[in-house]
Amino acid sequence: MKTETQAVTTDPVCGMQVQPGKEAGSFAFKGKTHLFCSKRCLQAFSAEPERYVGKQASAGSGHAAHSPHAHAIVKPVGAPAPTGARYSCPMHPEVLRDAPGD
């Protein structure tokens, strides 16, 4: 029986919160094990870990607290999408929607 609860961590690629034990994968880099929300994020990190560790450090998110600004809303720029357009999640392309959103 576990008496300690493990803290939620932040996926260094997309910024999503990851509950230890429910991660899609992990990767040890420079003495720290990073957890990932999806296999795609794990693959991106393993290809260029320095890119994401630097991004995480510069954002000041650290591992102790999750930055509330990590999930910034991205607003489309330019012409509106044509009627009937489908939107897909860049991190989970199998997710399709009729409108942009989380």
Return the bridge partners of 34, or none.
27
Q: How high is the pLDDT of residue 77?
A: 61
Average pLDDT over the chain, rounded to an integer: 76
Is 36 in contact with 18 (CB distance < 8 Å)? Answer: yes
Domain with 82 in it: 9-64+76-97
Which has the minimum average pLDDT: 7-11, 45-49, 74-78? 74-78
102 within some domain = no
88 within some domain = yes
4 within some domain = no
Is 53 in contact with 29 (CB distance < 8 Å)? Answer: yes
Bigger pLDDT: 93 or 4? 93
DSSP 16-37: -EE-TTS-SEEEEETTEEEEES
pTM above the 0.85 mark?
no
Nearest-angstrom CA–CA distance, 33 and 41: 14
Return the bridge partners of 97, or none.
87
**pLDDT tens digits for range 41-59:** 999 999 999 999 876 544 4
